[in-house]
Structures are given as structure tokens and as C-alpha cells.
Structure 1
Amino acid sequence: MHALYNCISQYHPISIDAWEALAKALTRVELPRNAFLIQEGMVCHNLYFLEQGCLRGYYNLDGKEITYWFGFENNFITSFYSFISRKPGVENIQILEDATLWGISYQALNQLFDFYPDLERLVRIINEQYYIRLEERLMGMQFKTARERYEQLLETAPHILQRVSLGQIASYLGISQETLSRIRSQV
């Protein structure tokens, strides 16, 4: 839980009372490789902090898995659409490496907001950062070449090649595995 406290402090400081209340509301979750944190058609009831491990978010489209994000240590994880709207999601979140997460339910988090405005501000800032990354990803997919997207991935997350399959990386970049192999041989 120390990693979570350090991560939170980088976004926005919270009071000791708020941290203690948050810590009491958190549940430790350990999941093995290939397990699912959430599957399409389910309502996501929790927001998670990934302490250890790697996972991915993907959609199924005509029987094909379309990976659209990866999560690594010190990332906040949820099916944002489902968590916020309280409706069934259309995404799957799969564990790629044995994972340790800390989860808090939607209800518990909202109850904490009533007593600790600094927690509400913290989550707003986290959501803003998520939105910025989402918009950057959208712009990259629209305006960058496959090679530029690959080079950006290497620049921002070089460890990804050791932790994620090439097929999933290709899907994330919106290219075929053959195109990814060609790009990798040129870089």
C-alpha cells in the first residue's frame, strides 16, 4: 500500500485522515496471469490501483481482440465507462502477469467524497490525466504513421516489449503483426 500512497502524493496531497479512511476502504486483490478483472457485459464496481503486474484492456470485434490500453505498476485501473455510468461495459480487462491490486467500490469511494473533499479532488485529477492520455492516444491513431506510433511506444514504455506479446502490441498500434515485424526490423 506504500506504493499507492506515493502515487497519490504525486497527483494531489491528501490529509492523514483522508488517507486512513481510504486505506480502510481498500481491498487487496491478487489475480493470476490470464484471469479477468472484468469482462464485457459486466458492471465494473471497483476502481483499482495496480501495485504489481501487467494487464490489458481490449474489445471483441467480430471475433477479434482489439487491445486499446495496457496497465503497469502504479496505474489506476477500471472500466471507466462502466464504473462511472454504472452500466455494463463492453471491454475486457485481462491480467497478463500475476497481479496485486488495491480496489475500492464505487459506493465506498463516493461515501468518502462526502467527508474528504481532497479525495474527490484527487480522483478528479486522476480522471483528468486519464482523459489527456486518451486524447493523446486518439490523436496518435489519427495523425501518426504506424512507425511513429511504434517509436512513441518505445519512448514512453520501452519495457512493454519484454512484458507484452507482439500480437497484443500490434493490435494496440492498430497494425498487423507482419507490419510490426517490418517496422521493428527498420528501427
Structure 2
Amino acid sequence: MSSEAWGALSKALTRVEVSKNSFLVKEGTVCNNLYFLEKGCLRGYYNLDGKEITYWFSFEDNFVTSFYSFISRKPAVENIQALEDSALWSISFEVLNQLFDAHNDLERVVRIINEQYYIRLEERFMAMQFKTARERYEQLMENSPHILHRISLGQTASYLGISQETLSRIRSQV
């Protein structure tokens, strides 16, 4: 990214601090911001018949938003909640698009971010469709062991698509 684009982006970012258990996005509202997570931990989850289904976690140095809502400008179907006190950098949809018009190299960077998000989404989909619960847990231990130290067992089980009891059983066998 050019120094001109970086300078314009830096001026457009707003620092946001959120406390544990607070929400960046609530289902039914339009997500107007793209965030960069500097410090902390967030989760994305859906409500299904009164049950929270966690489908992602985000940690330091990652971009976070309700991509569906942010891009489509429609109400979010998910919630984004802070699991720890967190510090983020925020940019609005409108300002980001103004910067795209002025700086093509910034648009390229955000396209790459979107591609990385899509890859993670497809990897998650394939794991949920084609791997056993134990294989998903082993993959989590191999690729993201920090999740097991920072996330509750209930939320980890939900993320893996299994019950907390099944997770405990798998953990005792590994």
C-alpha cells in the first residue's frame, strides 16, 4: 500500500474499546463498520431456537465484521460479542468506499482480506461437513491451540459443532 493510502487510512480509523460481554454487532441491525482487532478476543454467533451457535473466534491482528451485513447493507443475522476487554480500530462502510475511490491499492488490500476470510470460511465448512468431531478437535489443537486457553469449553464445543459432554470425552481420549 502506498504511503499516501496508508496516511489516508490512518486518519480515517477510529479507536474503539469494548468491554467483555459487550456487542459490536447485534442480529437485526446493519453492520456499518469494518474493524481491526488490536487486542482481545471476539466471537461470532447465531441464535437458533434460543441456542447460541458459535461459528468463529477472532484474536489479535485480525479483521472483524459481519461480512454479510457490511457488504450487503442488510441487517446482520449474527452477533459479534467481546469475550475479553478488547481494543479495535474501526472504519465505516461509507468512508472505506470513499478511500477505495481515491486509492486503488487500498481496495486491493481489502480484497485480499476478503479472500482470506473466504478461505477460512470454506475450510470451516469442509471441516464441519467431512471431518469427525475428534478430527475437528485435533485440527483445532494443531492450528489454534490458544482457543483452548482463552475460550470457555461450552463455546469451544459449539464452535466444533458438538456438545460439551462430547468435547470432554474427546479431550480425555487425546
State the TM-score, normalizing by the size of structure 2: 0.99
- Aligned partner of 2:10 in structure 1 is 23
User: 1:162: Cα distance to partner?
Assistant: 1.2
User: 1:161: Cα distance to partner?
Assistant: 1.2
Name which of 155, 170, 173 aligns with 2:157: 170
- Aligned partner of 2:75 in structure 1 is 88
> In structure 2, what is the Cα distance between the partners aligned to 1:158 and 1:56?
16
> In structure 2, what is the Cα distance between the partners aligned to 1:120 and 1:135?
23
- Unpaired runs of at least 5, structure 2: none
> In structure 2, what is the Cα distance between the partners aligned to 1:133 and 1:144?
15
What does 1:90-169 correspond to in 2, within 5 Å?
Answer: 90-169=77-156
User: 1:136: Cα distance to partner?
Assistant: 0.5
User: 1:46: Cα distance to partner?
Assistant: 0.2
Letter in 1 for 2:25: I
User: 1:69: Cα distance to partner?
Assistant: 0.2
* Matched residue SS, 2:168: helix
Percent identity, aligned pairs only, is 79
> In structure 2, what is the Cα distance between the partners aligned to 1:34 and 1:90?
18
Q: Which runs of 4+ in 1 moved over 4 A?
A: none
> In structure 1, what is the Cα distance between the partners aligned to 2:93 and 2:142?
34
1:44 corresponds to 2:31: yes
1:55-97 deviation digits (Å, cap 9, x = unpaired): 1000000000000000000110000000000000110000000
* Matched residue SS, 1:47: strand
Letter in 2 for 1:147: R
Aligned pair count reads 174
> In structure 2, what is the Cα distance between the partners aligned to 1:182 and 1:17?
54
1:129-167 deviation digits (Å, cap 9, x = unpaired): 100110010000000000000011111111111110000
Letter in 2 for 1:52: K
State the TM-score, normalizing by the size of structure 1: 0.92
> In structure 1, what is the Cα distance between the partners aligned to 2:33 and 2:81?
15
- Unpaired runs of at least 5, structure 1: 1-13
1:9-41 deviation digits (Å, cap 9, x = unpaired): xxxxx0110000000000000000000011000
Aligned CA RMSD, in angstroms, stands at 0.4
Letter in 2 for 1:45: N
